Amino acid sequence: MSRSALPPTVRAPRMLRLILPLVGTVALSTACTAAEEGSDATPSSASTTSAPASPTDPPSGSASAPTTIPTSAFVELPSELRKSPRRSTPVAEALPKLCGNEFGTGGRQVTASAAMTVTYKKAGEPDSNTPQGMIHQTIFTFAGDGATDYLRRLSDAVKACPSFDQGDDPVTVESRAVPGVGDEALLVTRAWAATNLNGERTGGEGSSQIAVARVDGVVTVFDDQGWEGSSGNPAILDQTMRKGVRTIDAWQR
């Protein structure tokens, strides 16, 4: 027998000792790959003070971006304008819609979202009178450059929607930047032919506005809706937007 030759009973255990570590290495590598793919497929959801915006992708967390939004981050109207206290509202219901889902495109960089609604009245009117309108406020917090990207996408989407149909009536859409409010702000105006309670056109025009402002990595959306389809109040919306920006800035500090 040659010195290099070994009996079969000796060669088999040695070959197994060589093969088994390799099998273990392959199995461990496969398990790591599967774990990595699973973490990408199911990102963790952010905690919010109300229902997250259903049109957005699941949020991805960030160490520096807030994952909760307190009630104190939302604006409160002055007592002379407040018809009823703020109330929590699902984000998907609070966000306005024009031609499509322009305001619900936060994407994976959203770390938290929440919304509240306040009903307002004309200053000096008794509480027993019919409200003048209501304002839905939505707040998004973003990781990285998500807030800036959201404003850019939103501005482009609004410009691509010069009009849309609301029932049988066309609604025109115009937008413009609002200087001096937060880091950047956008005002969107919706206008339509006014009608009376019977649905007959009066020859006038109804309108309402949407204001969007960014404060660092936070974006807030105000949707002003007149009561029962009437016009909103641009002065109250402007006042609310500016106060809302100051409130968010104080929260961020």
pLDDT one-digit tens code per residue, 67-87: 899 999 999 999 999 998 899
Residues 24 and 70 occupy one common structural domain: no
- Kindly write down the DSSP assignment for every residue of 58-90, as one continuous string: PP---SSS-S---GGGS----TTTEEEEEEE--
Q: Specify the pTM.
A: 0.75
Residues 97 and 15 in one domain: no
Predicted confidence at residue 34, as pLDDT, reads 35
Whole-number Å distance between alpha carbons of 185 and 221: 10
Quick one: 62 and 152 in the same domain? yes
Amino acid at 174: E
Rounded-to-integer distance, Cα 116 and Cα 135, Å: 8
Contact between residue 235 and residue 77 where contact means Cβ atoms under 8 Å apart: no
> The sheet that has 218-226: what strands, in order across it?
82-88, 110-120, 133-142, 218-226, 201-215, 184-195, 169-177, 163-166
At residue 222 the predicted structure's pLDDT band, cuts being 50, 70 and 90, is very high
Shared domain for 116 and 225, answered yes or no, is: yes
Confidence of residue 126 (pLDDT cuts 50, 70, 90): confident
Q: Please tell me whether residues 129 and 247 are part of one structural domain.
A: yes
Judging by beta carbons within 10 Å of its beta carbon (0-12, 13-18, 19+), is residue 110 exposed, middle or buried?
buried
**Strands (E) located in the chain:** 82-88, 110-120, 133-142, 163-166, 169-177, 184-195, 201-215, 218-226
In sign, the C-alpha dihedral spanning 74, 78, 79, 82 is negative
The verdict on 13 and 24 lying in the same domain is: yes
For the chain, give the percent of residues with pLDDT over 70: 75
Q: Which residue has the higher pLDDT, 30 or 80?
A: 80
Amino acid 249: pLDDT: 95
State whether 99 and 67 are in the same domain: yes
Average pLDDT over residues 130-149: 96
Report the pLDDT averaged over residues 97-103. Answer: 94
Task: Name the residue range of residue 27's domain.
Answer: 1-42
- Residue 209 Cα distances to 32, 91, 150, angstroms: 51, 18, 19
Query: Number of folded domains in the chain?
Result: 2
21, pLDDT greater than 80: no
Residue type, 96: P
- Please check the confidence at residue 103 and state whether its pLDDT lies above 90: yes
* Coil/strand/helix, residue 222: strand
pLDDT in tens, 156-167: 999 999 999 987
Residues 54 and 13 in one domain: no
Q: Are residues 5 and 61 in the same domain?
A: no
What CATH number does residue 74 fall under? Answer: 3.40.1000
The pLDDT of residue 64: 72
Cβ atoms of residues 173 and 188 within 8 Å: yes
Instruction: Specify whether 38 is located in the same domain as 56.
Output: no
Residues 91, 18 share a domain: no
**Which single residue is written with the structure tokens 């009117």?**
125
| pLDDT at position 253 | 84
My answer on whether 38 and 51 are in the same domain is no
Tell me whether residue 165 is exposed, middle or buried, using C-beta atoms within 10 angstroms of its C-beta: 0 to 12, 13 to 18, 19 or more: exposed
Mark residue 189 as left, alpha or beta (left: phi above 0; alpha: psi -120 to 50; beta: remaining).
beta
